Structures are given as C-alpha cells and as structure tokens.
Structure 1
Amino acid sequence: MLKQAKILLVEDEAPKREHIERLLRELRCSVEIMAARSVNSALDALENATPDLMLLDMSLPTFDAGDRENGGRPQGFGGAEILRFMRMAEISCPVVIITGYEGFAHEGGTTVDLEQLRQEWMLEFEGTLGSVLHYNSTYDEWKTTLSATLLELGLLDN
C-alpha cells in the first residue's frame, strides 16, 4: 500500500486524469491527490506545497479552462517549463512524465520521438525525473510501468 503521500497530478484531460486516479485506487494507494490542469495552476500548486511525487503531462494549456474554454496558448512542452521552474526555484520532488504522445514537434517542424525525448529529459532533469511513460488508454503497459516506478520510488509496499 502507498505510504501516506501527496501527489500532484498535472493533467488537463479529464479521462486520462480519471484513469490515473483509478489506478492509484486499484493499488489501494492512501494518498492525497492535488490536481492541476495547466502550467499556471501547477506552478501555483508547487509554490504552495512540495508534493512527494508529481505525475506530469507534457502537453498542457497555459491556464485552467472549463470544458468550453481553450485555456490559452497550448504548450507542447508545458511540462518541461514546469520542470525548469522547479530547478530554478530549487523545488525537489520525483517526477514521472505521463504523455499520450509518441512524439513531439520541435521548432522548425522536426518531430522527435518519445524515446529520444526521454533520453534528453533524463539528462536535462537528472535527479528529478524518475521516468517518462507513454499513456495509451487501450493498453495496460503504462499501468505496469507506473506501478513499478511507484515501487522503485519507495511509495508502494512490496
């Protein structure tokens, strides 16, 4: 069972957020989940309290939005902006990136696959980034990998 921990779940898509929360319940995790749906709300949450773990989407809107609002300019690498803020502000907690994308477009139009980005991010955010997972609601691989990551981080009992 997960030891009492605070998890900051940064995810703008309700179905994905609910899927992750459901997994935490299935694992019988005893956690306080703090939710953020945008870059700005994640930064606000981090300024108020440092979580024991952050589950972070990479593609996020700038601001929280209702179901019929767009939340401002979408940021394909909004999660990286949050990680850079953490480094600058010396906020330290383990982070797991959970993204539904298999690749991202860089400036100039080139596409970089998730494995290449994983390697870049693990170097850039060494010591903070625990893992980078590909989320796909159809397959359970992300659940297995996230469960193993939680165990590795010492947040799940054997």
Structure 2
Amino acid sequence: MKILIVEDQADKKDNIEKYLLDNLSDISVNDCCSLRGGLKEVVTNPTYDLILLDMSMPNFDPSEAYYDDSPESYAGKELMEQMRLRGISIPVIVVTQYSSFEGGSVALDGLSEMFSDQFSDFYKGCIYYNSATENWKSDLGKLINSINE
C-alpha cells in the first residue's frame, strides 16, 4: 500500500507515519507539507492507494518564494476540489486536530458530512487527531481496514 501524508506539522506527521509503519505491512509512505506540494505530488504520482490529509496547512512549501506559514483553514478541502476537477479519485482520509471550523460554527461531523456529499467517490472519513490520546489510532485503523476490504 502506497500512502501519501499531506501534513505541515512535523510531530503529527511523524506520529501518523510511526503508527502506519508499526501496524501495516507492505506499505510505503511519502509526505508533503502544503496544499501546493500535496497537489503536485498527487498529479505527478497518481498511483497512491491512500491520502491522509490535514485540513489546515500553508498553501506553499517553505522552499517556495510565496511561502507564508499561516495555515489556510480549508486547504485540505481545496486539495480534494482540485482532485475532483482532475478526475483523481485516490481514497482520502482527513486527519485534523480541530474539532470545529469557522469559529466553531461548523463541527467536525458536519464537515465530514459535507465532504461525503461533495467528494463521495474518494472521501472515506475524518479522524480527530489528539496527541494526548490514542483514540485516533484505532479510528484510523478502522477506516484503513474498511478501504482495504
């Protein structure tokens, strides 16, 4: 299984990658840290079996001239919109540290429901990541297993 992690926070990315490597066999993991980096990777290498996608991240990589480390709240949604426009339907699981968006007016469940409607051909679910608990690991494992069935 070839997995792409699109995540700008190194600790979170490392924890997710460690979980994957410790719990899945026959996998390879690549990563990107921005919307643009993730889109470029998906377009040039559309052979991924799964994308683990952060919702809030910078638009550009730190190496790019336009880099601004201010995260874009819906960068993950933008990546999925770009995938849909290009006919790319690699399964996506959103892994986010936020339980709500838009100043608390949109809960994570509501966001996931919206994504299920808009990106039904490839959106597989949403995981609430919290480094202080282990719940995200079992939730992620269940979603990955459902994709592999």
- TM-score of the aligned structures, taking structure 2 as reference length: 0.91
Q: CA RMSD in A?
A: 1.8
Alignment check: 8 A CA contact 2:93 2:124 kept: yes
**Residue of 128, 143, 146 corresponding to 2:122:** 128
Q: Distance in 2 between matches of 1:152 and 1:110?
A: 30
**Paired amino acid for 1:92:** S
Query: Contact 2:127/2:136 (CA < 8 Å) preserved in 1?
Result: yes
Identify which of 62, 65, 72 aligns with 1:65: 62
| Counterpart residue identity of residue 138, structure 1 | A
Match of 1:32 in 2: 28
Q: Give 1:7's aligned residue.
A: 3
Q: What is the CA deviation profile of residues 30-54 of structure 1, one whole-angstrom value per residue up to 9, with x for unaligned ones?
A: 2121111000000110111111100
**Counterpart in the other structure of 1:84:** 81
Question: Which consecutive segments of 4 or more residues in structure 1 shift more than 2 A?
Answer: 70-74
Q: Bigger relative contact order, structure 1 or 2, given CA contacts below 8 A and separation 6+?
A: 1
1:94 partner amino acid: P
Give the counterpart of 1:146 among 134, 140, 143.
Answer: 140
Q: Which runs of 5+ in 1 are unaligned?
A: none
Identical-residue share of aligned pairs (%):
32
Residue pairs, 1:85-100, within 5 angstroms: 85-100=82-97
CA contact (8 A) 2:3 2:49 kept: yes
Q: Give the secondary structure class of the aligned counterpart of 2:148.
A: coil
User: Equivalents in 1 of 2:104, 2:9: separation in Å?
Assistant: 25
TM-score by length of 1: 0.86
The answer (yes or no) to whether the contact 2:21–2:27 under 8 Å persists in 1 is: no
The count of aligned residue pairs is 146
Name stretches of at least 5 consecutive residues in structure 2 with no aligned partner.
none
In the alignment, is residue 103 of structure 1 matched against residue 97 of structure 2?
no
Task: Give, in whole Å, the separation in 2 of the partners of 1:91 and 1:21.
Answer: 23
CA distance in 2, matches of 1:148, 1:43: 26
In structure 2, distance between residues paired with 1:29 and 1:103:
33
For 2:127 and 2:69, locate their aligned partners in 1 and report how far apart those are by CA, in whole Å. 26
Distance 2:147 2:49 in 1: 10
